[in-house]
């Protein structure tokens, strides 16, 4: 008998675009193993397209920065109460958390009280800040499934054994096809993020950077990739009228990334996507001054972008807070536009990065870990 027929659904808790992408891939592999499996909870369009019986949209918790999270706290607390009622009523077979620790740790605590096993896929970035939260994971999560090569030794330092499956982007990116596509030396990509706050902060900065570059690179063209659920008109409002920019949907975003000479990007999973595709990017990150001040006290890594963290050194320039300004971005863009040796050097670094993120098959390995463990529990 297929267990998916006789047991409750697996509940997913996902809060951002990259988690939606990876959650969808994991769902696909769970369904391959158990075709009748039930899948419900919180996610986005990719997971819904893969068959998630979506109860809550991930946009409800799309926040960044400490002060932004505090501002949305009453709404989030109300959402958590609703989810708890659902968990009591539905009695899920298990809960799969994907990143978003500020929200998902609360779901894990609920699950513990309700005797629902919890699996953390896309381990929260506690190696970056608040490393003491390892103790929380040990107490509330049955299995932590990691996708970055340096995470397993990090957890081992705290006496915790975790599962490393490799990065799921290696299953998502059609690298052979992308490698065959031409690059337009005058095309610059614009990736302002998926959250309202970061778009409103970064897109005007990118626009002013383009205006500066126009003075000595008048032939440059710009293409902006809209995040899922974002409106083109909203982005156009934040972009300068005198700099033409094409706005494209995320459907063919990887082909768009590959077509660009370089990209101005918000920090996030997208920086690893561009790196594996082989397109250099300038990484930007800016939050409120209070969030930045608190972050400086808490963060204990040298870089914020995944390509730099995986490599262990700076492949991509990082423009954080006051360094996320048009003058600094334009200066670094010119280095790649004007110096063929510098550009070739970063391309070579990106090629070697592909060998550091594991073999394809991460979502299938993660699905097997979850289902095998549930079988041991008789669920």
What confidence score (pLDDT) does residue 102 get? 85
What confidence score (pLDDT) does residue 129 get? 67
Query: Do 280 and 371 reside in the same domain of the chain?
Result: no
Query: Do 368 and 341 reside in the same domain of the chain?
Result: no
CATH classification at residue 294 = 3.40.50.2000
Query: Do 155 and 185 reside in the same domain of the chain?
Result: no
Query: Do 333 and 221 reside in the same domain of the chain?
Result: yes
Query: Do 141 and 200 reside in the same domain of the chain?
Result: no
Residue 52 belongs to domain spanning? 3-168+361-377
Query: Do 118 and 248 reside in the same domain of the chain?
Result: no
Query: Do 129 and 181 reside in the same domain of the chain?
Result: no
SS3 track for the chain:
CCHHHHCCCEEEEECCHHHHHHHHHHHHHHHHHCCCCCEEEEECHHHHHCCCEEEEEHHHHCCCCHHHHHHCHHHHHHHHHHHHHHHHHHCCCEEEEECCHHHHHHHHHHHHHCCCCEEEECCCCCCCECHHHHHHHHHHCCEEEECCCCHHHHHHCCCCCCEECCCCHHHHCCHHHHHCCCCEEEEEEEECCCCHHHHHHHHHHHHHHHHHHHHHCCCCEEEEECCCCCCHHHHHHCCCCCCCEEEECHHHHHHHHHHEEEEEEECCHHHHHHHHHCCCEEEEECCCHHHHHHHHHHECCCCCCHHHHHHCCCCCCEEEHHHCCHHHHHHHHHHHHHCHHHHHHHHHHHHHHHHHCCCCCHHHHHHHHHHHHHHHHCC
Query: Do 161 and 191 reside in the same domain of the chain?
Result: no
pLDDT in tens, the chain (379 residues): 345 556 799 999 999 888 999 999 999 999 999 999 999 999 999 999 999 999 999 988 865 444 445 556 788 889 999 999 999 999 999 999 998 888 999 999 999 999 999 999 998 888 766 678 899 999 999 999 999 999 999 999 999 999 999 999 999 999 999 999 999 999 999 999 888 888 999 999 999 999 999 999 999 999 999 877 777 888 989 999 999 999 998 889 999 999 999 999 999 889 999 999 999 999 998 865 555 454 554 455 688 899 999 999 999 999 998 899 999 999 999 999 999 999 999 999 999 999 999 999 999 999 999 999 999 999 9
Query: Do 159 and 246 reside in the same domain of the chain?
Result: no
What confidence score (pLDDT) does residue 65 get? 45
Query: Do 56 and 162 reside in the same domain of the chain?
Result: yes
What confidence score (pLDDT) does residue 146 get? 95
Structural domains of the chain, count: 2
Query: Do 251 and 329 reside in the same domain of the chain?
Result: yes
Query: Do 310 and 372 reside in the same domain of the chain?
Result: no
């Amino acid at each position: 008998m297929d267990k998916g027929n006789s047991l409750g659904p697996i509940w997913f808790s996902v809060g951002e675009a990259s988690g939606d992408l990876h959650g969808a891939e994991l769902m696909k592999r769970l369904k391959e193993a158990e075709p009748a499996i039930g899948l419900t909870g919180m996610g986005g369009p990719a997971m819904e397209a893969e068959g998630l019986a979506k109860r809550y949209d991930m946009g409800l918790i799309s926040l960044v920065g400490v002060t932004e999270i505090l501002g949305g706290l009453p709404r989030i607390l109300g959402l958590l109460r609703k989810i708890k009622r659902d968990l009591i009523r539905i009695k899920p077979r298990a809960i799969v958390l994907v990143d978003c620790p500020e929200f998902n740790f609360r779901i894990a605590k609920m699950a513990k009280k309700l005797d629902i096993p919890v699996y953390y896929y896309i381990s929260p970035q506690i190696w970056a800040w608040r490393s003491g939260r390892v103790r929380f994971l040990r107490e509330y999560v049955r299995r932590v499934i990691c996708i970055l090569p340096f995470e397993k030794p990090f957890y081992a330092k705290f006496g915790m054994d975790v599962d490393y499956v490799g990065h799921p982007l290696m299953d998502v990116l059609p690298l052979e096809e992308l490698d065959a596509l031409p690059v337009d030396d005058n095309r610059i990509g614009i990736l302002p993020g998926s959250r309202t706050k970061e778009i409103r902060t970064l897109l005007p900065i990118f626009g002013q950077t383009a205006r500066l570059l126009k003075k000595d690179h008048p032939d440059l063209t710009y293409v902006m990739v809209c995040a899922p659920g974002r409106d083109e008109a909203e982005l156009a409002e934040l972009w300068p009228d005198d700099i033409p920019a094409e706005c494209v949907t995320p459907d063919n975003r990887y082909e768009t990334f590959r077509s660009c000479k370089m990209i101005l990007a918000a920090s996030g999973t997208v920086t690893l996507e561009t790196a594996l595709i082989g397109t250099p990017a300038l990484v930007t990150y800016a939050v409120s001054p209070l969030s930045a001040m608190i972050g400086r006290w808490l963060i204990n890594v040298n870089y914020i972008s995944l390509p730099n963290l995986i490599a262990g050194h700076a492949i991509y320039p990082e423009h954080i807070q006051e360094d996320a300004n048009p003058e600094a971005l334009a200066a670094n863009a010119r280095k790649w536009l004007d110096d063929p040796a510098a550009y070739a050097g970063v391309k070579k670094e990106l090629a070697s990065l592909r060998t550091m993120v594991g073999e394809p098959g991460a979502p299938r390995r993660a699905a097997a870990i979850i289902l095998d463990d549930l079988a041991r529990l008789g669920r």
